Amino acid sequence: MISSWQHPGFLARTLDTLFSGHCRFCSAPATGDGLCSGCHEDLPWITASCRRCGLPLASGAPVCAACLSHPPPFDHTVALWRYEAGIETLIRRFKLHGDLAAGRLLTRLAARELGTRQTPCPGPLMAMPMHPRRRRRRGFNQSALIASWLGPVVRKPLVIRHRDTPPQRRLDAEGRCHNLKGAFRLCRRPPAAVTLVDDVMTTGASLTEVAHCLRAGCRRIDVVVLARAL
């Protein structure tokens, strides 16, 4: 169990702020994290959500109806933001344009919020695996960077993605599940607890597949994602 969510390294933080003391969105003077207080407040924060899958819930219920009838193979999920407005822009800049400063800004904001909420992290962090071909094309795995900036990660891969599948973006929920069948494989015995890290969760199909693999040894699986697409 780690007791605090780490901020990205001091050097990265210094480099990010060396060039600009201004808010990433509006150019007003920024606070330590790289946004002004107004833009920080305006982010689409998720404050009440299903504790199993991170779905925003206006009712205040602890678990959503879908998780009550079909509980996912992970125990607890924190999604910090809705995938909209400024968050969507930052994630797309990071993922599709290799804007690492955008990724570090998101991770700093996430680390601070996870610490403030005293979010548990019962095991080492494990990034969502990416197929090697896709990682070569993109040049990096965004989830692996987020995980390494957030805290201690698993030393060796636990689950690999051994089948490259078409992007999930254009598929509906059923298509996403079918697309991923057999795409992941457990490659060694997992520890008793693991915290899975990803950038965006949509239906949770990929996280579900990976968590099914990990259940071969994990008693507890937590999930932390930056954003929840609805």
Residues at the site binding Zn ion, with contacts judged by CB under 5 A: 23, 25-26, 28, 36, 39, 50, 52-53, 55, 64, 67
CB of 118 to Zn ion, least distance (A): 21
In the complex, the smallest distance separating the C-beta of residue 100 from Zn ion, rounded to whole angstroms, is 20
Residue closer to Zn ion, measured from CB, 26 or 192:
26
Closest CA to 109 of 124, 130, 95, 90: 90
CB of 179 to Zn ion, least distance (A): 21
Least Å distance, CB 200 to Zn ion, is: 16
> 64 vs 213, which CB is nearer to Zn ion?
64
Strand-pairing partners, residue 185, are: 160
Q: How far is the CB of 178 from Zn ion (least distance, A)?
A: 21
From CA 101, how far away is CA 219, in angstroms rounded? 35
CA nearest 191: which of 211, 212, 209, 218?
Answer: 218
Cβ proximity to Zn ion: between 15 and 26 the closer is: 26
Q: Identify whether the C-beta of residue 222 lies closer than 8 Å to the C-beta of residue 76.
A: yes
Cβ proximity to Zn ion: between 164 and 174 the closer is 174
Which residue's structure tokens are 């965006």?
200
Cα angle at 209 between 89 and 6, to 5 degrees? 50
Name residue 136's amino acid.
R
Q: Which stretches of 81-171 are DSSP H helices?
A: 85-97, 100-116, 132-138, 142-150
**What amino acid is encoded at 114 in this protein?**
L
Minimum distance, C-beta of residue 64 to Zn ion, in the bound complex (Å): 3
Q: Report how far apart, in Å, the C-alpha atoms of 151 and of each of 7, 32, 33, 74, 103 are.
A: 8, 19, 17, 20, 15
- In angstroms, how far is CA 179 from the centroid of its own chain? 21
Residue 25 or 81: the one with the smaller Cβ distance to Zn ion is 25
Q: Which is nearer to Zn ion, 40 or 104 (CB)?
A: 40
Residue 51 Cβ vs Zn ion, minimum distance, rounded to whole Å: 8
- The nearer residue to Zn ion, 75 or 157, going by C-beta atoms, is 75
